[in-house]
Structure 1
Amino acid sequence: MPEEKFIDVEKIIGSKNPKLLKWLPGFVLRWIKRVLHEKEVNAFMNLHGHLRDYDFIHKVIGEFRVTVNIRGLENIPREGGFILASNHPLGGFDGLALMQAVEPARKDIRFLVNDILLSFKTMDNLFVPINKHGSQGGTDVIEEAYASEKAVLVFPAGLVSRKQQGVIRDLEWKKSFIAKAVQHKKNIIPTYIQGSNSKFFYNLALWRKRLGIKANIEMFWLMDEMYKQRGKTITIIFGQPISYTVFDKRHSPKGWAQQVKKFVYAMGSGKATVFIPDYEKHPAESAS
C-alpha cells in the first residue's frame, strides 16, 4: 500500500494553479519540497499519525529531542476556567511545548490557533481555530471556549515574534483576551516562552517589510523553522494569576493588553514576578 501524503506539494500547487504547476521547473519544485520538509513530515505522519492529542505531542517533542523546562507550574489552577496568555516566539514548537507544559496541571485545554499547528488534525480535540473571516459558526466556538470552565490558551499577538530594533518580541497584542477575561470573569495566567527562530527568518521578515511587501512570505519557512528546533531547550514560565478585576475602565482593553505583554517580557527577563498595574493614561493608547 502506498504511503499517504500529509504534504503533497504538487497536489497543492496543482489545485490552486494548474498552469503554474506545469510551468514550474523541477528544481524549483524540489526546493519547495525541501523547505516544507515534505519527505520527513510524510514519513513521520505515516508512522505516528494515528496518535492523538497529548500522545502525538509527546511523540513530536521526543522525536525532535526538544527539552521543555517548566517554571511556575503551581500557578496553573487545577480547576475552573482561566485564560493563559503567552508570547509567540516560534510559530509551531512553542505551541506544542506549551501544551505539554500545561498538561500535568490541566488536560482540559482549548488552544486558540491560526498557524501551522492547524494543519495537524491529530490535535483537533485541543484546538479552537481562530476565525479570520468572521463567520458566525467560528465566532460561536471561540465564545463557547471562553465561557467554559476549561483552560483557554492564546497567543494574543496572533503572529510569530519578529525582530524589532534588534530585539525579538511579539507585535502588538490584540485586546480580545482582556475583553473576554472581563466578560466571563476569568483570571489571566501570564506566560513567557523562551525561544527564537533563525536569523534567516528574522532578516527575511525585515527585508520584506523594508521592500513594502505586505504578504508575510516568511511564514512559508515556518515548517523549516520547526525542524531547526531539533535538540534545543524551550523554557516556559507561568506567572501568578492576574485577576480580571484589575482590568477596569482606567485603560481600554487594548491598553491593558499591552501592559500584560510588557509584564510577560519583564517576567521572562527576571525583572518582575508580580503584575503591578500602571494606571497612568498613555498618550498613544487608543480608546478602542
Structure 2
Amino acid sequence: MRRQTPDLFSYSNGVDGRWRRVVIRQIENVSGLRKISRLYADRQDDISAGRNPWDVTFEAMKLQLDLQGSLESIPRTGPLVVVANHPFGLVDGVIICHLIAQVRPDFRILINRVLEQMKDLRAYLLPIDFTDTSEARDINLNSRAAAKTHLRAGGAVIVFPAGGISTAHRGLGPANDPPWGPFTAKLILSSKADVLPVYFHGQNSRLFQIVSQFSHTLRLALLAREVRRKMGGKVRVTIGKTIPHAELVTYPRREEMMQKLREETYALKQI
C-alpha cells in the first residue's frame, strides 16, 4: 500500500486566508499536484545516496532541456548574480538551479518560500514570503541580508528580478516580466558581482494568462497545472555571456542598470 505523500509543491501554504488555501488546494489536487509530489518523494533514495537534490528534482519532474549557450559561460569563482526572466514559476527555479549547480555548487537562490517544503533543497534557499505579515517582512529582510553576505564571501546568487511570474497584457499576446526592481542592483553593487543573464523561452498557458487578470488566488492554484504541462516536454533555455561588474557601474541609477539587464536578458530570445 502506497504511503500518503504530502503535497510538497503546494502554493496553498504560502497564502493568507483559510478559504484561499482551500480553493488553491482543491484545484491543485485536480491538476495532479499529488502525482508531482509523489514523483519527487519516490526519488529520496537518490538524494540519500549523495546525488545533487536539484538534479534529482529536475529528473523527478521529467523535465527536458533545449539548451542554447554553454555552461562554460558561468564563472567558476567570485561573486556572481544570475538573473533570469520568470515565465513559468516553479519550473524556472528547478531548471536554473539544476544548471548552475553543475558549475557553482556554492549558489543560493532567492525564491518563493513554497520550496522550503522540500527539506533537501533548504540549504540552497533564500526564501521570499509574499504574504502581508510581520513574519513575512522579517523573513524577506533576513533573506536579502543573507544574499548580500553570501555574495561578499564570493558566492553565487540566483535572482528573478521581476519578483513574480510573467503575465500577458490583458491575458493576450506575449507574457513578459513586469519591470525589474532595484534590489538586484543593490546586490550587484554592494558585492562587486559580475552578472550572468539567462533567458527562458515560452510562457504559461492562455488560461493562466486570462485568470491572472482577475484572480491572484486562481493564478496560484493553476501553477501545478502549468508544471504538469511542462512534464515530458522540452524547455528552451539560453545562457548569455557574463557581464563584468566594471561594465555595470557606469549606470548612475539602479533603475537604469536593471533596465539594461532586463534588455540584455530578453535579447537572448533571438538566440
Quickly name the TM-score band, shorter chain normalised. 0.7 to 0.9
Is 1:114 equivalent to 2:121 in the alignment? no
CA 1:264 to 1:216, structure 2 compared with 1: closer, same or farther past 3 Å? farther
Is 1:226 equivalent to 2:227 in the alignment? yes
Seq. identity, %: 19
1:260 is matched with 261
Q: Shift of the alpha carbon at 1:121?
A: 2.3
2:133 is matched with none
Question: Following the alignment from structure 2 to structure 1, what is the Cα–Cα distance between the partners of residues 106 and 96?
Answer: 13
Question: Following the alignment from structure 1 to structure 2, what is the Cα–Cα distance between the partners of residues 268 and 130?
Answer: 27
CA 1:116 to 1:227, structure 2 compared with 1: closer, same or farther past 3 Å? farther
1:33 is matched with 29
> Cα RMSD over matched residues?
3.2
Q: How does 1:1-288 map to 2 (within 5 A)?
A: 3-7=3-7, 17=18, 31=27, 33-35=29-31, 37-49=32-44, 51=47, 55-70=52-67, 71-114=69-112, 116-130=114-128, 133-135=136-138, 137-164=142-169, 166-206=173-213, 208=214, 215=216, 217-248=218-249, 250-270=251-271
Contact residue 61 and residue 97 of structure 1 kept, 8 A: yes
Give the SS at the match of 2:83: strand
Give the SS at the match of 2:180: coil
Question: Following the alignment from structure 2 to structure 1, what is the Cα–Cα distance between the partners of residues 251 and 41?
Answer: 53
Contact residue 36 and residue 61 of structure 2 kept, 8 A: no
Structure 2 gaps, min length 5: 131-135
CA 1:121 to 1:166, structure 2 compared with 1: closer, same or farther past 3 Å? same
Q: What TM-score comes out, normalization by structure 2 length?
A: 0.80
**More helix per residue:** 2
Q: Shift of the alpha carbon at 1:266?
A: 1.2
Q: What TM-score comes out, normalization by structure 1 length?
A: 0.76
Letter paired with 1:263 = E
Structure 1 gaps, min length 5: 271-288
Contact residue 6 and residue 45 of structure 1 kept, 8 A: no
